[in-house]
Homo-oligomer: A and B are copies of this chain.
Amino acid sequence: MAQQPDTVTRILDTAEVLFAERGFAETSLRNITSKAKVNLAAVNYHFGSKKSLIQAVFARYLDPFTVRFHAALDELEADHAGGVIPLEELLETMARSVLEVPAERNSLKGFMRLLGLAYSQAQGHLRRYIQEEYGSVFTRFTELVRRATPELPDAERFWRLHFMLGTVIFTLSGLDALRDIAEKDYGEHVSVRDLVRRLRPVVVAAMNAPLPEPAPARREAG
């Protein structure tokens, strides 16, 4: 008969689902342990604290993501033999890496919700943890984007990347509500892959948009 997964895995699986559904503060350890059919004290036994459990939920996605994304970027750089990698290919590679990891575990939507929560909930410890553990792969990515968009001033590129990050996280983390509306109003069921297809031209156009008009001078004219 199918062996029940061990306590640590059951806690992580359940915490992931509940955090994604309701957020961190709104999910108690009692919610998690009762749904996971695990003793309340087991969370503190295995993870030490609720904070560490939250970080462990993220690590289970971000560790394999980082490995894959680095590997994909290695490959891409090898293909282009030191030359500039076009923006479209960089974005495509990132999208593919993000999609691959949770695909194994059938939980793309949950992963996206978690990413959204990581940004929006006031969990300072989580932002710090993610920055420290996984910051370097994003630094590598943004450097490649810099080479792909030499015409953009650095600050402009910084802001546009964050604009697009907002688009993606906001859309995918609020996916259920938006999907319900879209299905009711336009009669089409939208998968995450459909959304990525729709996002592609929008993100590319946004990154390639004309520069904004210069800021009005503060004091002196000319």
Contact between A182 and B210, CB atoms less than 8 A apart: no
CB < 8 Å: which of B119, B169, B170, B188 contacts A155?
B188
**Shortest CB distance A91–B (Å):** 13
Copies of this chain held together in the complex: 2
Across the interface, which residues of B come within 8 angstroms of A206, CB to CB?
Answer: 167, 202-203, 205-206, 209
CB < 8 Å: which of B23, B156, B200, B211 contacts A121?
B23
Instruction: Report how many residues on chain A are interfacial, defined by Cβ distance under 8 Å.
Output: 56
**Shortest CB distance A21–B (Å):** 8
Contact between A170 and B119, CB atoms less than 8 A apart: yes
Contact between A197 and B182, CB atoms less than 8 A apart: no
- Cα distance A26–B168 in the bound complex, in angstroms: 26
**Shortest CB distance A118–B (Å):** 11
Contact between B171 and A163, CB atoms less than 8 A apart: yes
Smallest Cβ-Cβ distance to A168: which chain B residue:
B166
**Shortest CB distance A192–B (Å):** 13
**Which of A155, A186, A202, A212 has the most B CB atoms < 10 Å from its CB?**
A202
- Cα distance A81–B26 in the bound complex, in angstroms: 50
Known: A26-B25, A120-B117, A209-B205. A162 touches B188 (CB 8 A): no
Interface residues of A (CB under 8 A from B): 21-23, 25-26, 116-117, 119-122, 127, 154-156, 158-160, 162-171, 173-174, 177-178, 181-182, 185-186, 188, 194-195, 197-206, 208-213, 215
